[in-house]
């Protein structure tokens, strides 16, 4: 049996990923395939039996000039899983991905946190938006976008004052998140239109598209052009680090299994906080 990699990618993602992985993973893999095609990988229309490791490595090296290491790793995972399942289906005999390496000079993806001053601006402007309470809830809980979209009334324990994240990007993301007073007030103010806690202005469950439009509105109104849903999460973690939160506790709150990942990814501090800390030398 013969099939090109281009043909198999479409078959693979629908048969093996769409119904067995989370919606977020499916979307991430689809995006990786889109980037691979936009970059015009020279072996896409080749029979899968004929694609070599050196071709794959050269292409990853090429992508490294444009994309971050995390994006390259997503492409590598897509290739790896696509070839692994193609072997099972007798479309090829070997997987040319196993020893693929990421270029050392590829950029690390860096996500900025809001400074304290920027966060104050965002919070003030958010209060003027019909959906701005969602921004404030992100900043006070550190939830991922999809976690917030999936949050239901059954997940809110009002008496014990916490929410349960039942659907998440990772297994470690299934967790309890205690609520500070600001977050609790936001939940208590939400109308019970349906089983979901957060809804749009048409009384329908909030969607990823609505949340994107929300942060784009805040970019325009605040002049802070890097605001995203993940920036809220990053800022939540950074504020906790600045206040001396233990890293193991932070890792649990963020839904990570690896504390070192939490440190690498989120425990960055802005220059004002660093200046404040180093001035302790003079006290």
CA separation for the pair 32, 57 (Å, rounded): 16
Specify the pLDDT at position 202.
96
Q: What confidence category does residue 21 fall into, taking pLDDT thresholds of 50, 70 and 90?
A: confident
In this prediction, residue 104 carries a pLDDT of 78
d(CA 10, CA 27): 13
Residue 263, pLDDT > 80, answer no
Return the C-alpha torsion angle 38, 43, 45, 50, nearest 10: -160
The tokens describing 216, both together, are 């784009």
Q: Per-residue confidence at 100, pLDDT binned at 50, 70, 90?
A: confident
What domains are defined for the chain? 5-88 (1.10.150.130), 116-282 (1.10.443.10)
Give me the pLDDT at residue 169, please.
73
Grade residue 229 by pLDDT with cuts at 50, 70 and 90: very high
Chain-centroid distance, C-alpha 84:
26
Dig out the tokens for 147 from the structure.
């976690």
Neighbouring residues of 201: CB distance < 8 A, sequence distance ≥ 6? 130, 131
Tens digits of residue pLDDT in 25-52: 888 899 999 999 999 999 999 999 999 9
Confidence at residue 103, expressed as pLDDT on a 0 to 100 scale: 83
Residue where the block lists tokens 């039942």: 166
For residue 272, what pLDDT is reported? 60
Query: What string of DSSP letters covers 43-55?
Result: TTTSBGGG--HHH
> Is residue 267 predicted with pLDDT exceeding 60?
no
Q: According to DSSP H, which parts of the chain are helical?
A: 5-12, 23-38, 53-63, 69-88, 116-126, 132-141, 145-150, 181-188, 208-222, 229-242, 247-254, 259-266, 271-278
Distance CA 248, CA 267 (A): 12
At 112, the pLDDT band (50, 70, 90 cuts) reads confident
The angle at the Cα of 192, spanning 186 to 193, to the nearest 5 degrees, equals 120
Of the pLDDT bands very low, low, confident and very high (cuts 50, 70, 90), residue 110 is low
Instruction: Choose the weakest-confidence range: 19-23, 132-136, 215-219, 260-264.
Output: 260-264
pLDDT, tens only, 128-180 = 999 999 999 999 999 999 999 999 999 999 999 999 999 887 777 899 999 99
Q: For residues 201 and 204, give the distance between their C-alpha atoms in angstroms, rounded to a whole number.
A: 7
Overall pTM surpassing 0.85 (yes/no): no
- Quote the CA–CA distance of 40 and 183 in Å, as a whole number: 46
Angle, helices 132-141 vs 229-242, to 10°: value is: 40
Does the pLDDT of residue 283 top 80, yes or no?
no
The pLDDT of 61-83, averaged and rounded, is: 89
Asked if residues 231 and 204 have their Cβ atoms less than 8 Å apart, the reply is no
């Amino acid at each position: 049996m013969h099939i090109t990699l281009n043909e198999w990618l479409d078959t693979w993602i629908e048969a093996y990923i769409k119904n067995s992985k989370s919606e977020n993973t499916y979307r991430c893999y689809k995006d990786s395939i889109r980037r691979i095609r936009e970059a015009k990988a020279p072996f896409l229309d080749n029979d899968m039996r004929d694609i070599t490791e050196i071709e794959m490595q050269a292409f990853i090296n090429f992508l490294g000039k444009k994309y971050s290491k995390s994006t390259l790793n997503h492409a590598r995972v897509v290739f790896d899983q696509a070839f692994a399942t193609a072997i099972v289906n007798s479309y090829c005999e070997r997987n040319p991905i196993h020893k693929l390496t990421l270029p050392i000079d590829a950029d690390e993806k860096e996500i900025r946190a809001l400074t304290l001053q920027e966060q104050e601006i965002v919070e003030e402007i958010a209060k003027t938006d019909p959906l701005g309470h969602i921004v404030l809830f992100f900043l006070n809980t550190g939830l991922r976008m999809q976690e917030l979209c999936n949050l239901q009334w059954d997940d809110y324990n009002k008496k014990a004052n916490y929410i349960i994240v039942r659907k998440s990007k990772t297994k470690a993301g299934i967790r309890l998140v205690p609520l500070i007073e600001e977050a609790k007030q936001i939940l208590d103010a939400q109308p019970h239109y349906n089983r979901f806690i957060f809804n749009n202005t048409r009384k329908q469950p909030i969607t990823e598209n609505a949340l994107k439009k929300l942060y784009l509105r805040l970019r325009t109104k605040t002049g802070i052009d890097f605001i995203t849903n993940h920036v809220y999460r990053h800022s939540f973690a950074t504020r906790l680090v600045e206040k001396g939160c233990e890293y193991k506790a932070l890792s649990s709150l963020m839904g990570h299994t690896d504390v070192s990942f939490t440190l690498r990814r989120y425990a960055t501090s802005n220059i004002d906080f660093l200046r404040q800390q180093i001035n302790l030398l003079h006290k």
